[in-house]
Structure 1
Amino acid sequence: MARVIPLGKLADLAGAPQLAVPLPLSDPLDWQGLKAALPAMLAEAIDDPRVRVAINGALLPNKLMMQAGAGDEIALLPPVSGG
């Protein structure tokens, strides 16, 4: 299992402060696998190119190249807002 931590408005879409996501049997969890394991509204929201992803605290330069393993923490960071 990997632990998904949606932050900000993404947590509202997830309906929980964290989610447990099962890993594929043979491969690490990739971006498409993550989206398939998430609630539909959250999966749609994280397709926004401004949403960033961190694994175990390390920000990924390209979320499409994500590879997560057992026990990893996947943080979903919404776009920064402010004024």
Structure 2
Amino acid sequence: MKINVLLFGIATDLIGSSSLTIELPISCNVTSFKELLTKQYPELKQMSSYAIAINESYATDETIIKENDIIAIIPPVSGG
């Protein structure tokens, strides 16, 4: 299944784009998605951590991704 991925902050800089379309297997969870993503884009390993949101809600590692979901990669934010 094809999934749209939105990138924010440093993730955009590392990949060189603010969005991607990637192919995922059916019944893929967030943990598997992260593994597939870092295989395709090893630059993301430079981020110590990042959150995943699916359809504008934060997701856990066990959340199953469905076709037509929109995934956002949200790196840590600092500031004051």
TM range (shorter): 0.7 to 0.9
- Structure 2 unpaired stretches of 5+: none
Secondary structure at the aligned position of 2:28 is classed as coil
RMSD: 1.9
The alignment's TM-score, normalised by the length of structure 2, stands at 0.78
The change in CA–CA distance for 1:16 and 1:39 in structure 2 (over 3 A counts) is same
Gaps of 5+ in 1: none
* Alignment of 1:76 onto 2:76: no
Partners of 2:35 and 2:48 lie apart in 1 by 9
Q: TM-score, normalised by structure 1?
A: 0.75
Deviating beyond 3 angstroms after TM superposition, the runs of 4 or more aligned structure 1 residues are none
Rounded to whole Å, the distance in 1 between the matches of 2:47 and 2:3 is 17
Write 1 or 2 for the structure with the bigger share of strand: 2
What is the CA–CA distance in structure 2 between the aligned matches of 1:76 and 1:54, rounded to whole Å? 7
Is the 1:3–1:72 contact (alpha carbons within 8 Å) kept by the matching residues of 2?
A: yes
